[in-house]
Amino acid sequence: MYAAAKRAIKSVVPPAAWKRFYGRHYQSIRPLTVDYCPVRLPWMGRSRDPMARVHRLSTEFAYQGRRPIPTTLVRWLALGTWPFRLVSSMLEESRNHARAVHERLGITRFQQIRQMTSLALTDNCTPVSYYRFRLYEPGNARRASAYVHADELDTLHDALTWRLPSLEPLDDKHLFYEEGLRHRLPVAGLLAVFEGGDSLDGYTPPSTLPACDLVLKPARELCGRGVERWRYMEQTRRWEREGQRHDASALLAHCRNVSREKKHVLQERLLNHEAIAMFAPNALATIRVVSYRRPCGEAGILMSCLRMPTQGQSVDNFAAGGIAAPIDASGILGPALAKDPTRGTFDRHPDSGAQISGASVPCYAETLDLALRAHAAFAWVPMVGWDIVITPAGPMLLEANPGWCVELAQIVPNVPLGETSYPHLFLEHLEAQDTTFGRRAGPSSRTRHLDLAARLP
């Protein structure tokens, strides 16, 4: 419903005006954009367990630091329109997934809509979450309140990192590379960095690029957006992509051109270890490791999985159609899953046919150790999602994600965050910041976050 309204408005509002309005007021209108109820109703999450408290905090944090009158208006408008957004979302999601669920489990579309309605009213669960987290599976519905929605995690992440040191070294691939070198971590190298239509000092590329496949990607984008893989053709000594063919000078000119709007980095294409290469015949497979550090300094691993590209994609991201398999404590893979529940599970890779379930991940202990060593270099960040490549030479850091994918972290292991240490970690960090920074009176919305957290049961 929100997406349809957004498209209608954008069709009549000039793009520049829309961009200014959205950039300036998105946080204020955000409660109108989510499918879950943006006001925690009295009967929702009444228990005192840590996950219920986190759910309540996520709802209230969305309104902190806003002007009282507009905030009240938005809050009541969001509550009034929520039933219509809920119905619209239920119809859309059931149209996309109900048939597949009925064919596999025998649950009719009406039964699915009835269950979605019940979960939305009792546990504030969205129709999107109902299907993506497979809550229609026998026994799964009772776990609905333990799952964290993507929009919720965004709010919780912002609240937890508001007054911490900058996350930019992790959010920016260029700065992450430099910080990785400074801390002597094995990090994927950069050939060049382009910004504002030119290459940055210290990264001026050679006139002759290395004769291998290259990867060009935005420095600050997520989910594989904007990634370009340029395949090197030995016969012509040129790089090709989607019908385009460039020599070295033309490719560098292209890099400078795309950097006029966004900073980009240019890298040599990495290769997977031979034990993993069969899961990524056309691109790179990476291990996502979510690590944490407690306020006392204790560190650990929240989850890990192997992400694999499919259907000729040049990236392995879950949002781009990739699949991912959980990794157990001994480094053994389980069956892979996709974000789209209608695709089912994969014991074998859908493109290469390689056996996934039961396969062993090489250098798994070293991979987890690398994630923990990297987190120690950025010790102020509560939780980080690391993308690690297992190369023929061993594990190597590719990227860091302080705002890691909550859907990947819960769908692949089939374990909601509420059944992990996540809620305890979140509340511990919030309490530690209360102790460190104090609750000073004044305009700081972060201070209001801490005051609110102290008041809620």
Q: Which residues sit opposite 221 in a β-bridge? A: none
Q: Specify the number of domains making up the chain.
A: 3
Q: Is residue 121 part of a domain?
A: yes
Q: Are 57 and 453 in contact (CB under 8 A)?
A: yes
pLDDT for 68: 57
Element (H, E) at 199: strand 198-199
Distance separating alpha carbons of residues 380 and 294, to the nearest angstrom = 10
Span 80-91, mean pLDDT? 90
Span 413-420, mean pLDDT? 94
| Percentage above 90 pLDDT, the chain | 51
Q: Is 68 exposed, middle or buried (0-12, 13-18, 19+ CB in 10 A)?
A: exposed
Average pLDDT score, the chain: 85
For 209-285, strand residue ranges (E) read: 214-218, 228-233, 238-241, 244-246, 264-268
Q: 357 with 399, same domain?
A: yes
CATH classification at residue 290: 3.30.470.20
- Give the residue from 268, 288, 307 where a domain finishes: 268
Local structure of residue 292 (DSSP, 8 states): E
Q: Is residue 13 part of a domain?
A: no
Q: Is residue 299 part of a domain?
A: yes
Distance separating alpha carbons of residues 377 and 184, to the nearest angstrom = 10
pLDDT for 25: 66
- Give the residue from 237, 268, 299 where a domain finishes: 268
Q: 337 with 306, same domain?
A: yes
Say which range, 108-117, 266-275, 432-441, has the weakest mean pLDDT. 432-441
Q: 180 with 199, same domain?
A: no
The residue range of the domain holding 296 is: 168-185+272-417
Q: Is residue 133 part of a domain?
A: yes
pLDDT for 442: 30
**Token pair listed for 124:** 């504030």
Q: Is residue 57 part of a domain?
A: yes
Q: 242 with 340, same domain?
A: no
Span 395-417, mean pLDDT? 93
What's this model's pTM, rounded to 2 decimal places? 0.85
Q: 295 with 408, same domain?
A: yes
Residue 447 has pLDDT above 90, yes or no: no
Q: 32 with 155, same domain?
A: yes
- How confident is the model over 218-270, as pLDDT tens digits? 999 877 788 898 999 988 899 998 888 999 989 999 999 999 989 999 999 99
**Token pair listed for 267:** 């890298």
pLDDT for 313: 77
Q: 134 with 212, same domain?
A: no
Q: 409 with 438, same domain?
A: no
pLDDT for 451: 42
Q: Is residue 4 part of a domain?
A: no
- Give the residue from 233, 268, 303 where a domain finishes: 268
Span 346-363, mean pLDDT? 93
Count Cα neighbours of 191 within 13 Å in the Cβ-side half-sphere: 22
Q: 207 with 252, same domain?
A: yes
Q: Is residue 32 part of a domain?
A: yes
Q: Is residue 8 part of a domain?
A: no
Q: Of 62-66, 118-122, 302-306, which one has max mean pLDDT?
A: 302-306
Q: 308 with 352, same domain?
A: yes
- How confident is the model over 383-402, as pLDDT tens digits? 999 999 999 999 999 999 99
Torsion of CA 95, 350, 403, 420, to 10 degrees: 90
Span 49-75, mean pLDDT? 73
pLDDT for 66: 52
Q: 181 with 242, same domain?
A: no
Q: 177 with 302, same domain?
A: yes
